């Protein structure tokens, strides 16, 4: 089973502080993430100035120069740089910066204005499906195909902040895979790493989880974000889980086959047996290791005469018993 592509979602947890953003990139790389993801927006792309969260997100607005820095720092840390565009202008900036993948947020899963621009880049798209019905996802995929989009990866997502365990419905991963035949993954808003581990075990090819350097804060996305230690632990747990799962192809070459001759049972004399005696079950021991005859042979041995003496604890062979072929 292949390890999923793990995205550390910084989002706007840097709150406009580029020094913090740089530290987050380095921390995500050191924790084992494959990519670090930001959000590229002007506050008015997301909310009216009268909205209660307008002032919360405004400090995290991105400029083109900011994106250049973030991409450069990511390259230095050997981690992929990604960002979610919330406008066509933001999308153009990301293409110019040189991203290989475009992430589309759940809120834009049905936004054909932005989707058309994203499809036009020809780049791989990672599409979160929070709040969407199967029919809406089907229509969006059809639209993207018509627009000549690159590969589309569908992320199961519950757009609650945080999402409770009973709301996650991780079985949706298999539903999306079976229904649409596209690569699937998971975008996490749960407060612990457990959901991401479940997603990996269920075959998620991409896992996106929120990331912070300030886990004790409850505002913004910090409260449902992983800190560096949690992210590092998650990466290790996923690798361990997938190692344990292995593959169906390995069944016939299983590592324990070499022990079969040691751990399976053979047939042994339970007492000194004389030539001519009629064998009974109580005359036998069923012990390790394997011998020429096995417990499966007992029914054809019972009541047959011995051809020669057999000492106690010696293994029985077909040559010891009349009328038995090996």
Do 137 and 269 belong together in one domain?
no
In the chain, % of residues over pLDDT 90 = 88
Residue 151 sits in the same domain as residue 177:
yes
For position 219, what pLDDT does the model report? Answer: 66
pLDDT 10s digits, 230-272: 999 999 999 999 999 999 999 999 999 999 999 999 999 999 9
Write the CA distances from 101 to 93, 115, 116, 210, integer angstroms.
13, 14, 15, 18
Q: What is the pLDDT of residues 147-204, one digit of tens each?
A: 999 999 999 999 998 999 999 999 999 999 999 999 999 999 998 899 999 999 999 9
Give per-residue pLDDT as tens, 74-90. Answer: 999 999 999 999 999 99
Structure tokens at 77: 């840390």
End-of-domain residue from the set 233, 250, 267: 250
Give long-range contacts, CB 8 A cutoff, 24+ apart: 66-74: 66/18, 67/40, 67/93, 67/94, 67/97, 68/97, 69/18, 69/22, 70/21, 70/25, 70/38, 71/97, 71/98, 71/99, 73/21, 73/22, 73/25, 73/26, 74/25, 74/29, 74/36
What confidence tens digit (pLDDT) does each residue in 92-118 have?
999 999 999 999 999 999 999 999 999
Per-residue b or e along 249-272, where b marks 16 or more CB atoms closer than 10 Å to that residue's CB: eeeeeeeeeeeeeeeeebbbbbee
Structural domain for 67, as ranges: 5-250
Last residue of a domain, one of 202, 233, 250: 250
Q: How many domains does the chain have?
A: 2
């Amino acid at each position: 089973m292949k390890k999923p592509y793990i995205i550390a979602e910084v989002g706007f947890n840097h709150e406009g502080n580029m020094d913090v953003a740089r530290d987050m990139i380095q921390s995500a790389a050191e924790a084992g993430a494959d990519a670090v993801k930001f959000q590229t927006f002007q506050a008015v792309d997301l909310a009216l100035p009268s909205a209660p969260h307008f002032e919360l997100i405004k400090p995290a607005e991105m400029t083109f120069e900011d994106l250049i820095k973030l991409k450069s720092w990511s390259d230095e840390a050997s981690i992929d740089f990604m960002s979610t565009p919330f406008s066509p202008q933001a999308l153009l900036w990301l293409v110019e910066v040189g991203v290989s993948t475009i992430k589309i947020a759940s809120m834009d899963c049905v936004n054909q204005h932005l989707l058309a621009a994203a499809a036009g880049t020809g780049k791989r798209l990672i599409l979160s499906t929070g709040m969407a019905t199967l029919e809406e996802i089907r229509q969006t995929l059809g639209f993207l195909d018509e627009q000549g989009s690159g590969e589309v990866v569908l992320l199961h997502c519950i757009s609650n902040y945080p999402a409770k365990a009973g709301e996650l419905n991780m079985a949706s991963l298999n539903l999306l895979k079976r229904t649409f035949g596209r690569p699937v993954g998971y975008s996490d808003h749960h407060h612990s790493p457990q959901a991401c581990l479940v997603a990996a075990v269920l075959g998620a090819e991409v896992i996106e989880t929120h990331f912070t350097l300030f886990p004790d804060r409850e505002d913004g996305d910090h409260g449902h974000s992983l800190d560096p230690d949690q992210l590092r632990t998650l990466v290790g747990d996923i690798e361990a889980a997938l190692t344990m799962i292995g593959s169906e192809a390995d069944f016939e070459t299983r590592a324990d086959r070499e022990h079969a001759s040691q751990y399976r049972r053979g047939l042994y004399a339970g007492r000194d047996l004389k030539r001519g005696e009629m064998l009974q079950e109580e005359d036998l021991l069923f012990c390790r290791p394997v011998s020429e005859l096995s417990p499966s042979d007992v029914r054809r041995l019972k009541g047959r005469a011995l051809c020669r003496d057999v000492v106690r604890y010696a293994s029985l062979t077909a040559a010891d018993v009349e009328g038995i072929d090996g």
